[in-house]
């Protein structure tokens, strides 16, 4: 016995509404624009924190060897270069420098739209108002898509530069910690070396100064003894 299953009855097909589709697309692009704006604010906060951290490392780094300090300063300069690239693309995502800002289109005021609707009440123009709304949403949606895509590209570039900035900051942190650990030993070693060299110089200069001072004193005493010999005991000296 065969059982024939009846195919399910298809639901009533809903006609496609172009106006609703364009409206939905328009509001989705508005949500996307707001999300990109929030991302700009988040990246800006992270960049400020990054700049503050690099500044603290730069001002706190101390080493008695000038060459090491110079190398660390060069690393700071490289990281600042990446930070500047991050800031440029981040600002460009908010304000387009090449076009002196971003153009933002808006829907017409409701009063204008209502006036146009009154004009289109004529049965011969019954579809004209709906077509007018479709054109408005299409124009606005296309402008939002272009603007959001441009913002997204700038934010992607900014995030790429920020990744390089974080790598540079990680290198700076490692160098700072190594220097923080080794700097007391380097300072002590340099101090002890200077003290040893100072002691050697003093030891080398001291015999020379004594020998130099003793010569004239001995010669002077000897010449004075020869010039005025002491009289022998029991003799008298007559003056002429």
In terms of pLDDT, which residue wins out, 47 or 121? Answer: 47
Question: Which of 32-46, 67-81, 224-238 is the least confident region?
Answer: 224-238
- Name the percent of the chain lying above pLDDT 70: 75
Name which of 191, 95, 200 is nearest 150 in CA terms.
Answer: 95
Mean pLDDT of the chain: 80
Per-residue pLDDT band for 167 (boundaries 50, 70, 90) equals: very high
Per-residue pLDDT band for 239 (boundaries 50, 70, 90) equals: very low
**Mean pLDDT, residues 139-162:** 92
The residues near 126 (Cβ < 8 Å, ≥ 6 apart) are 120
DSSP per position, 61-114: ---S-HHHHHHHHHHHHHHHHHHHHHHHHHHHHHS-TTTTS-----PPPHHHHH
Whose tokens are 């004209």? That residue is 128
The pLDDT of residue 114 is 79
**Mean pLDDT, residues 52-60:** 94
CA distances from 139 to 129, 142, 147, 165 (A): 15, 5, 12, 39
Ramachandran assignment for 41, one of left (phi > 0), alpha (psi -120 to 50 degrees), beta (any other): alpha
Neighbours of 6 (CB within 10 A): 5
- 7 SS3 class: coil
The pLDDT of residue 120 is 77
Q: Is pTM beyond 0.85 here?
A: no
């Amino acid at each position: 016995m065969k059982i024939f299953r009846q195919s399910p009855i298809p639901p009533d097909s809903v006609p496609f509404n172009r106006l609703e589709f364009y409206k939905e697309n328009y509001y989705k692009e508005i949500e996307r624009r707001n999300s990109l704006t929030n991302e700009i604010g988040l990246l800006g906060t992270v960049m400020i924190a990054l700049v503050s951290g690099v500044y603290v490392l730069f001002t706190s780094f101390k080493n008695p060897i000038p060459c090491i300090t110079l190398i660390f300063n060069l690393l700071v300069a490289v990281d600042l270069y990446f930070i500047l690239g991050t800031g440029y693309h981040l600002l460009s995502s908010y304000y387009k420098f090449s076009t002196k800002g971003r153009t933002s289109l808006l829907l017409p005021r409701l009063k204008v739209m209502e006036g146009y609707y009154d004009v289109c009440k004529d049965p011969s123009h019954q579809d004209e108002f709906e077509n007018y709304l479709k054109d408005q949403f299409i124009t606005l949606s296309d402008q939002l898509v272009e603007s959001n895509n441009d913002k997204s590209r700038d934010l992607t570039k900014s995030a790429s530069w920020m990744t390089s900035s974080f790598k540079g900051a990680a290198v700076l942190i490692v160098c700072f910690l190594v220097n923080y650990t080794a700097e007391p030993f380097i300072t002590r070693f340099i101090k002890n070396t200077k003290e040893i060299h100072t002691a050697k110089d003093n030891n080398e200069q001291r015999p020379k100064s004594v020998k130099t001072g003793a010569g004239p004193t001995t010669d002077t005493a000897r010449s004075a003894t020869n010039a005025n010999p002491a009289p022998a005991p029991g003799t008298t000296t007559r003056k002429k």
